[in-house]
A and B are shown apart, each in its own frame.
Chain A
Amino acid sequence: MQNLTDDQILQELEKRFRQSKKSVQKLKKLTNELTEVNKKLEESEAMKSHFISNITNEIVNPFAAILGLSKNILESEGEDWDKIISMVQLIHSEAFNLDFQLKNIFAAAKIEAGEWAPEITNVDINQLIKNVIESFRYEAEKKQINIKYSFDIYPGVQKSFYFPTDPEKLNIILTNLISNAIKFSYEKADIIVKAFLKNESLVLSVTDFGAGVSEENKKVIFNRFKKADTGINIINRGHGLGLSINKAIIDMLNGNIDLQSKPEEKTVFSITIPPGEVIDEIEGFASDGNEFMFNDNDDDKEVF
Chain B
Amino acid sequence: MEQKTHFLYPSTLFASRDRYIVNTILGSCVAVCLYDPVLKIGAINHFMLPLWNGQGLASTKYGNIATEKLIEKMTGYGCYKNKIIAKVFGGGEVIDTKISQFLIGERNIEIALKILKEHNIKIKAQSTGGQYGRKIIYNTYTGEVIQKIIKKQSIKQIDKSVGLR
B60 x A302 contact (CB < 8 A): no
Tell me if B9 and A304 are in contact (CB < 8 A).
no
Q: When chains A and B are docked, how far (Å) is the Cα of A304 from the Cα of B145?
A: 5
Closest CB-CB distance, B107 to chain A, in whole Å?
14
Specify which chain A residues have a CB less than 8 angstroms from the CB of B54 in the assembled complex: 37, 40-41, 43-44, 223
Known: A118-B9, A277-B161, A281-B6. A112 touches B60 (CB 8 A): yes
Which residues of B sit under 8 angstroms from A274, Cβ to Cβ? 163
Residues of chain B lying within 8 A (CB to CB) of residue A121: none
Residues of B within 8 A of A302 (CB): 127, 146-148
Query: Does the CB pair A223–B60 fall under 8 Å?
Result: no
Q: Is the CB of A114 within 8 A of B13?
A: yes
Interface of A is mostly: loop
* Cβ of B39 under 8 Å from chain A: no
The answer to whether the Cβ of B135 comes within 8 Å of any Cβ in the partner chain is yes
Give bound CA distance, A254 to B158, whole Å.
13
Inter-chain pairs besides A113-B13, A118-B9, A285-B161, 7 sampled, C-beta below 8 Å: A248-B56, A254-B163, A291-B157, A292-B25, A294-B148, A304-B125, A304-B147
B125 and chain A: residue at smallest CB distance: A304
Q: Mark B1-45, 1 if CB is under 8 A from A, else 0.
A: 000011111011100000000011100000000000000000001
Is the beta-carbon distance between A252 and B149 smaller than 8 angstroms? Answer: no
Min distance, Cβ A166 to any Cβ of chain B, angstroms: 11
Residue B99 CB within 8 A of the other chain: no
Q: A114-B12, A304-B144, A304-B147 are in contact. Are A277 and B162 (CB under 8 A)?
A: yes
Give the residues from 40 to 68 in chain B that come closer than 8 angstroms, CB to CB, to chain A. 45, 53-61, 65-66
Within 8 A of B (CB), among A19-63: 37, 40-41, 43-44
Verify B147–A301 contact, CB threshold 8 A: yes
Check if A247 is an interface residue, CB within 8 A of chain B: yes
Which of B7, B135, B146 is in CB contact (< 8 Å) with A281? B7
Q: Does B69 contact A (CB under 8 A)?
A: yes
- A113, A248, A287: the one within 8 Å of B69 (CB): A113
Chain A residues within an 8 Å CB radius of B148? 292, 294, 298, 300-302
Determine the residue in chain A with the shortest Cβ distance to B88. A304
| Per-residue interface assignment for chain A, residues 260 to 303, with 1 indicating a CB less than 8 Å from any chain B CB and 0 otherwise | 00000000000000100101111111011001101000101111
Sampled A-B contacts (8; CB under 8 Å)? A112-B59, A114-B45, A114-B66, A114-B69, A247-B57, A282-B5, A294-B137, A304-B87
Q: Which residues of chain B come closer than 8 Å to A284, judged between CB atoms?
A: 7, 23-25, 135
Contact of A303 among B7, B56, B146, B150 (CB under 8 A): B146
- Residues of A close to B97: CB separation below 8 A: none
- A269 vs B143: C-alpha distance in the bound complex, in angstroms? 46
**Residue A251 interfacial (CB < 8 Å):** yes
A252-B87 in contact given A112-B60, A281-B5 (Cβ < 8 Å): no
> Residue of A at shortest CB range from B51?
A37
